[in-house]
């Protein structure tokens, strides 16, 4: 991001040009025209008569010259001031006598109502640590969370979730709502990198310039938001018009049109809209903020990144240490909004959980304004030079015993050590900033980025305290225990809410089947802006599965429900004729609708129409029935008839209601509200112009037929569950326990490590329910909801979670294995910090019979095969401290960091109890017996991911299943395949078994023992592969070169993975590693014979050269490759984008085999043909 002060300093220097004699006919002015006297400047004195050179240049603005020939425009953008020399600016030298008028409020009376947190969708896959998962976001600290970023296809201009990792993270956001149902989840589109050179650099300009492309953009954006349940969108266009950001002049007007169209569509769907704004005049001048204000709920002002390493080579700013969140400069950016009378209620001020750091030119000068030579050293977690996350800074302060210095005027703290310097914020500086900004009526604050916090939520808590927000109480999950006789029965029947309120107490919104949106109707609320009516069902009964039926692309809708469904409502939206039906499964809460029927339109509407079948009781008449019918026509209506007696909800006092008191303004006084009170039941709707028939005055819109509730009954109250969350979790768990094989045998859900396939799988699950007669609770929605609850048991550190923990321990672990109790699993996760909690728990629920043994196997691996090794400096920057060979023209494109992170899973199929999944022990024995031959070995690289691992290499070993590639070989080989239905969903049967042996370069991963050097690995991963693929690498000039073929590695949801991990022990700065090929420290014993097989396989690999000198030479730049390996070679690692100069090979590009101690490369780029010969 550009520095805030770049244009201001530049303008100050340019003003000076007008007083220096420095130009002539041949010596041109850097800015302005050369006057007859040889001075540079603008206006008629310099560019008019007698001008010597560059006479056609024009000033930014007109300070009062006659005519418009001397300036680009008369007034400055953003209402800033025009200096006497024709420059735009807003410092004192520009604006003397024209100071900005700032809003003024009492700090104590200005409550912070909005705290927005941006979440980086890539945080957990691109950083080695301090990348919070969505479930780990601390409770109650934020009112809004914005997931960043969605992207846009530059060819179709449709919004997409992007890569597989992003889709996984998007689906995990929903877990946040379980404990905070009122939190708003938004999504951002764009970002700084979106406008960097590349295929998307002009996408925003292209979309905004074309109505057709705008329509495609908005339509696809809404679809994505609906799918993942987002409440709003943040547009992050960085930046329109600006030439250095690939903008165009027409962007200035087009962005307003674009945002107007976006806001209109989002409002119709009850979605919010915000926009990020730069705090610098340089970029903000290209936003028509006054026009844009009408089309956003608020602006997010990016008041950070004011300074950084980019200042060093900039002649206007220079190489000086300065804080990137300096309050003085933040105020200057905010003043640009005040000059344009932007409402403070529409301003959200940016804070940051990271800082910009510098390397000092002279460590003895270590204060603000001291000279710097370069960006600061990369953080161990940030991995980026010049960037330190706040948790990293706190680590450094603690470890080095530093004393930060407070700068009250700038409202920052600074600290220096060695030759490093950084500024940062904490409770003190955030409070100074917040109070200053609240005095200007600011009620909204935002953070980039909440995913940079630690797992304790240290920064979130500090910010909440600084903003003066009360700490929100954790929800009471116990509920209240009441005496049975005091409890009244809750409502029985689902109902449509009013346009102005959510679901009544005791009710819950119903999710649309297969979608992330709820069942809603906005057609009758259109007169009130963004209002909507929701389908609400009693929380005390089973939730029905509901969907809309009857829509046709031709507009000829045909309403009606399936035989096993009940119609609970209708809408005419999207229909030229007919209507759509809201269809729900038959449950206790929908049964009442099935007892009534709207009869066909007739001029004889009334009691006489209630003579068919059992529908004998007359209720009312309406020309649009329940509200979604096309009008019956003149003098014709439909009649509602019910069975006798009618449902309880229609047995009380009923009548037509035009207004319930929500819209009482003069302009809305004659508008019907189409709503009932929240204690009434809405039976039907009627056009307001039909009112005289009911003795009412006409009104615009629709009125509602409302019935008062009947007298309550007093059944026995279920005292075994407490809060709404506890009730829902217990119900979900009970459904799971009734059919624990549902996920694995019916749904086949795409797991966290695969691309979601919700729609197709949902349809498949429905087919299985019908064919196998399974329970209706076996749905993907229930599976996802259950998983979200379970994950929160292990990521939410609150004693108040105990009621939910008890349900898990009693109902699940009590039925399967005591080691699966929450306390035991929590201890396991503590011992295994690189485990992805969600992935592990997915497999626990997916394989409940094997999960307990999986935990024990993982513990046995750690205990019996892993031993401690001293760490290299675990906090160092690997790029700086390892003797790395790096070549800038070769970059691997496999994105292995994404793949490996998703599959972390402790639950191996070592002792599989199923007939469909092979045992690891059997596979290892088949490998050692040469039944499964090695097809190839290959070095690859994984990048930083969540946990304590640093980036590093791993060895991929691909073993063939079958007599030759592409030939399955019959049933004899099937015992080594995963024959679970999920394994064949991707097409074909397993062709390869792949092993990944991971190296962590921050450890002493080479160790010599009894004259032999062994390779130490942190983890061993195994998975099946169904096919092969080509690989490509980015070469010089962004071209691509081809690498060797490999077994395909992105079908993890189809072919599940197993991981055995030694893990790190951060408490004593030692690592536990498996020294492949060495003797184990202790006998595995009769209980774990598979460990003996694993150890012997490792010895085979060492003897063959795959984990010893021949293969290791490929990734080590050794002066003498023929010399014996030693621990000193730890520091000679070759990175993934490198050529090994000692061997002149590209170690990460090709498959290889070791034959008689020599490396034989397979440089075949074309993958073999896979034939599934069943």
Asked if residues 54 and 28 have their Cβ atoms less than 8 Å apart, the reply is yes
Asked if residues 1114 and 1142 have their Cβ atoms less than 8 Å apart, the reply is no
Q: Judge if 1089 and 1151 occupy the same domain.
A: yes
CA distances from 29 to 59, 89, 871 (A): 13, 21, 60
The β-bridge partners of 964 are 967
In a domain, 897, yes or no: yes
Q: Judge if 448 and 512 occupy the same domain.
A: no
Model pLDDT, residue 506? 83
- Identify each DSSP E strand in 944-1017 by its residue range: 952-960, 992-998, 1006-1009, 1012-1017
How many residues are listed for the chain in this entry?
A: 1174
Model pLDDT, residue 756? 30
- Identify each DSSP E strand in 524-575 by its residue range: 533-538, 546-549, 565-571
How many folded domains does the chain comprise? 5
Query: Could you tell me if residue 590 is left (phi over 0), alpha (psi between -120 and 50 degrees) or otherwise beta?
Result: alpha
Rounded to whole angstroms, the Cα distance separating 133 from 105 reads 38
Asked if residues 692 and 450 have their Cβ atoms less than 8 Å apart, the reply is no
Q: Judge if 1072 and 957 occupy the same domain.
A: yes
Model pLDDT, residue 1055? 42
The CATH number for 220's domain is: 3.20.20.80
* Structural domain for 776, as ranges: 724-846
Model pLDDT, residue 1172? 53
Whether the link from the prior residue into 696 is cis, omega within 30° of 0, is no
Q: Which residues, 6 or more positions from 486, have their beta carbon under 8 angstroms from its beta carbon?
A: none
Q: Which of 449, 466, 483 is a domain's end point?
A: 466
Asked if residues 826 and 790 have their Cβ atoms less than 8 Å apart, the reply is no
Nearest to 529 by CA among 282, 267, 714, 869: 267
Model pLDDT, residue 253? 97
Q: Judge if 743 and 871 occupy the same domain.
A: no
Model pLDDT, residue 1030? 84
Rounded to whole angstroms, the Cα distance separating 928 from 938 reads 19
Tokens at 921, concatenated: 């022990």
Q: What sign does the dihedral 437-438-441-442 (CA atoms) show?
A: positive
Q: Judge if 644 and 771 occupy the same domain.
A: no
In a domain, 995, yes or no: yes
Q: Which of 846, 878, 893 is a domain's end point?
A: 846
Helix (H, G, I), strand (E, B) or coil at 1128: helix
Q: Judge if 1146 and 1006 occupy the same domain.
A: yes
Nearest to 224 by CA among 213, 214, 236, 232: 232
Cα dihedral 444/445/451/456 (nearest 10): -100
Q: Judge if 315 and 378 occupy the same domain.
A: yes
Model pLDDT, residue 1038? 52
Q: Judge if 696 and 781 occupy the same domain.
A: no
In a domain, 1126, yes or no: yes
Q: Judge if 821 and 874 occupy the same domain.
A: no
Nearest to 1167 by CA among 962, 991, 1036: 991
In a domain, 1174, yes or no: no
Q: Judge if 739 and 866 occupy the same domain.
A: no
Q: Which of 795, 822, 846 is a domain's end point?
A: 846
Model pLDDT, residue 907? 39
The β-bridge partners of 495 are 536
| Interval 590-619: pLDDT, tens | 999 999 999 999 988 988 888 877 888 899
Helix (H, G, I), strand (E, B) or coil at 418: coil
Render 575-625 in DSSP notation, one character per residue.
Answer: -SBS-EEEEEE--TTTHHHHTEEEPPPBTT-SGGG--BTTEEEEEEEESST
What parts of the chain have a pLDDT lower than 70?
Answer: 1-20, 479-491, 664-669, 691-697, 710-722, 744-777, 869-918, 943-950, 979-988, 1033-1040, 1049-1057, 1063-1070, 1080-1087, 1137, 1171-1174
Q: Judge if 524 and 668 occupy the same domain.
A: yes
In a domain, 153, yes or no: yes
Nearest to 806 by CA among 730, 736, 740: 730
Nearest to 258 by CA among 291, 285, 231: 291
Model pLDDT, residue 878? 38
Tokens at 561, concatenated: 């429900």
Q: Judge if 120 and 85 occupy the same domain.
A: no
Asked if residues 53 and 74 have their Cβ atoms less than 8 Å apart, the reply is no
Helix (H, G, I), strand (E, B) or coil at 571: strand
In a domain, 714, yes or no: no
CA distances from 936 to 970, 1042, 1135, 1139, 1144 (A): 22, 17, 21, 20, 21
In a domain, 476, yes or no: no
Q: What is the pTM of this model?
A: 0.71
Q: Within 13 Å and on the Cβ side, how many CA atoms surround 27?
A: 10
What is the DSSP secondary structure assignment for residue 111, as one 8-state letter? -
In a domain, 224, yes or no: yes
């Amino acid at each position: 991001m550009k520095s805030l002060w770049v244009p201001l300093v530049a303008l100050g220097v340019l003003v000076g040009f007008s007083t220096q004699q420095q130009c002539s006919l041949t010596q041109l002015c850097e800015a302005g025209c050369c006057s007859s006297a040889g001075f540079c400047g603008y206006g008629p004195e310099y560019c008019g008569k007698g001008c010597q050179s560059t006479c056609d240049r024009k000033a930014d603005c007109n300070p009062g010259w006659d005519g418009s020939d001397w300036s680009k425009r008369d007034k400055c953008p953003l209402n800033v001031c025009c200096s006497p020399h024709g420059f735009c600016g807003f410092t004192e030298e520009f604006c003397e006598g024209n100071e900005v008028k700032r809003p003024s409020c009492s700090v104590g009376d200005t409550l912070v109502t909005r705290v927005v947190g941006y979440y980086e969708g890539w945080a957990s896959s691109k950083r080695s640590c301090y990348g919070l998962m969505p479930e780990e976001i601390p409770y109650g600290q934020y009112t809004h969370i914005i997931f960043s970023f969605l992207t846009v296809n530059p060819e179709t201009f449709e919004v997409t979730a992007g890569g597989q990792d992003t889709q996984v993270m998007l689906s995990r956001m929903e877990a946040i709502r379980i404990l905070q149902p009122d939190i708003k989840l938004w999504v951002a589109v764009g970002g700084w990198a979106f406008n960097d050179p590349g295929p998307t650099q002009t996408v925003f300009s292209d979309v905004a310039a074309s109505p057709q492309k705008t329509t495609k953009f908005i339509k696809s954006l809404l679809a994505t938001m609906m799918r993942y349940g987002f409440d709003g969108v943040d547009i992050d266009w960085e930046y329109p018009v600006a030439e250095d950001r690939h903008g165009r002049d027409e962007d200035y007007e087009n962005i307003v049109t674009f945002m107007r169209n976006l806001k209109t569509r989002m409002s119709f769907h009850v979605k919010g809209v915000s926009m990020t704004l730069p705090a610098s005049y340089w970029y903000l001048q290209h936003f028509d903020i006054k026009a844009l204000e009408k089309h956003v709920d608020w602006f997010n002002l990016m008041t950070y990144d004011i300074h950084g390493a980019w200042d060093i080579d900039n002649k206007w700013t220079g190489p000086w240490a300065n804080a990137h969140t300096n309050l003085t400069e933040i105020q200057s950016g905010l003043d640009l909004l005040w000059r344009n009378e932007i409402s403070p209620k529409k301003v959200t001020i940016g804070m940051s959980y990271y800082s910009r750091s510098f390397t000092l030119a002279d460590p003895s000068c270590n204060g603000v304004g001291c000279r710097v030579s370069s960006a600061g050293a990369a953080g161990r977690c940030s991995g980026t030079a010049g960037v330190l996350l706040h948790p990293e800074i706190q680590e450094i302060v603690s470890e080095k015993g530093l004393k930060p210095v407070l700068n009250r005027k700038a409202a920052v703290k600074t600290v220096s050590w060695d030759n490093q310097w950084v500024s940062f914020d904490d409770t003190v500086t955030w409070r100074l900033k917040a109070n200053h900004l609240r005095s200007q009526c600011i009620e909204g604050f935002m953070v980039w980025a909440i995913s940079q916090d630690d797992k304790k939520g240290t920064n979130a808590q500090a910010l909440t305290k600084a903003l003066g927000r009360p700490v929100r109480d954790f929800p009471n999950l116990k509920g209240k225990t009441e005496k049975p006789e005091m409890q009244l029965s809750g409502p029985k029947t689902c109902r449509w809410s009013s346009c102005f309120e959510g679901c009544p107490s005791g009710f819950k919104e119903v999710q649309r089947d297969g979608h992330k949106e709820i069942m809603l109707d906005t057609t009758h609320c259109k007169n009130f802006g963004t209002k909507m009516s929701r389908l609400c069902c009693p929380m005390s009964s089973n939730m029905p599965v509901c969907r809309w039926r009857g829509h046709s692309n031709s507009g000829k809708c045909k309403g009606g429900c399936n035989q096993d469904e009940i119609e609970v409502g209708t809408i005419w939206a999207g229909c030229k004729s007919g209507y759509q039906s809201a269809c729900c499964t038959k449950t206790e809460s929908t049964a009442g609708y099935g007892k009534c029927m709207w009869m066909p339109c007739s001029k004889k509407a009334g009691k006489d129409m209630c003579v068919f079948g059992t529908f004998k009781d007359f209720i009312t008449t309406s020309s649009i029935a329940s509200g979604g019918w096309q009008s019956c026509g003149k003098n014709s209506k439909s009649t509602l008839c019910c069975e006798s007696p009618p449902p309880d909800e229609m047995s009380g006092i009923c009548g037509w209601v035009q207004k319930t008191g929500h819209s009482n303004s003069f302009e809305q006084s004659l508008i019907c509200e189409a709503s009932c009170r929240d204690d009434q039941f809405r039976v039907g709707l009627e056009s307001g112009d039909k009112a005289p028939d009911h003795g009412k005055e006409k009104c615009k819109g629709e009125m509602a037929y409302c019935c008062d509730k009947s007298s309550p009954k007093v059944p026995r109250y279920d005292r075994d569950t407490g809060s709404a969350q506890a009730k829902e979790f217990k119900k979900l768990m009970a459904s799971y326990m009734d059919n624990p094989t549902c996920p694995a045998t019916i749904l086949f859900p795409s797991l966290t490590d695969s691309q979601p396939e919700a729609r197709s799988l949902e349809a498949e699950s429905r087919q299985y329910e019908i064919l196998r007669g399974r329970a209706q609770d076996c749905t993907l929605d229930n599976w996802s909801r259950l998983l979200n609850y379970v994950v929160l048991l292990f990521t939410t550190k609150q004693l108040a979670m105990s009621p939910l923990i008890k349900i898990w321990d009693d109902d699940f672990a009590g039925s399967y294995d005591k080691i699966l109790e929450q306390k035991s699993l929590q201890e396991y996760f503590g011992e295994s910090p690189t485990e992805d909690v969600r992935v592990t728990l997915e497999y626990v629920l997916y394989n409940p019979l094997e999960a307990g043994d999986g935990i024990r196997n993982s513990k046995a691996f750690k205990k019996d095969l892993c031993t401690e090794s001293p760490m290299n400096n675990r906090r160092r920057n690997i790029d700086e401290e390892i003797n790395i060979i790096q070549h800038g023209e070769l970059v691997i494109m496999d994105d292995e960091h994404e793949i490996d992170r998703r599959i972390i899973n402790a639950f191996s199929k070592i002792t599989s109890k199923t007939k469909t999944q092979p045992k690891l022990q059997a596979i290892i024995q088949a490998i050692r017996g040469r039944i499964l031959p090695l097809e190839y070995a290959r070095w690859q690289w994984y990048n930083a991911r969540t946990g304590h691992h640093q980036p590093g290499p791993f060895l991929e070993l691909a073993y063939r299943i079958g007599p030759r590639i592409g030939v399955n070989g019959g049933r004899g080989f099937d015992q080594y395949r995963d024959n679970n239905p999920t394994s064949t969903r991707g097409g074909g049967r397993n062709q390869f078994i792949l092993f990944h042996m991971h190296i962590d370069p921050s450890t002493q991963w080479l160790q010599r023992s009894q004259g032999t050097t062994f390779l130490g690995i942190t983890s061993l991963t195994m998975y099946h592969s169904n096919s092969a693929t080509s690989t490509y690498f980015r070469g010089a000039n962004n071209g691509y070169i081809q690498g060797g073929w490999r077994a395909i590695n992105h079908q993890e949801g189809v072919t599940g993975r197993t991981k055995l991990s030694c893990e790190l022990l951060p408490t004593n700065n030692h690592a536990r590693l498996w020294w492949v090929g060495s003797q184990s420290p202790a006998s595995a014993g009769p209980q774990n014979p598979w460990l003996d097989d694993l150890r012997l396989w490792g010895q085979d690999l060492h003897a063959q050269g795959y984990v010893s000198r021949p293969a290791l030479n490929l990734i080590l730049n050794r002066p003498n490759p023929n010399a014996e390996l030693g621990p000193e070679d730890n520091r000679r690692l070759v990175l993934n984008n490198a050529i090994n100069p000692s061997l002149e090979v590209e170690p990460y590009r090709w498959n290889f085999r070791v034959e008689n101690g020599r490396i034989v490369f397979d440089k075949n780029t074309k993958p073999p043909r896979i034939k599934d010969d069943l």
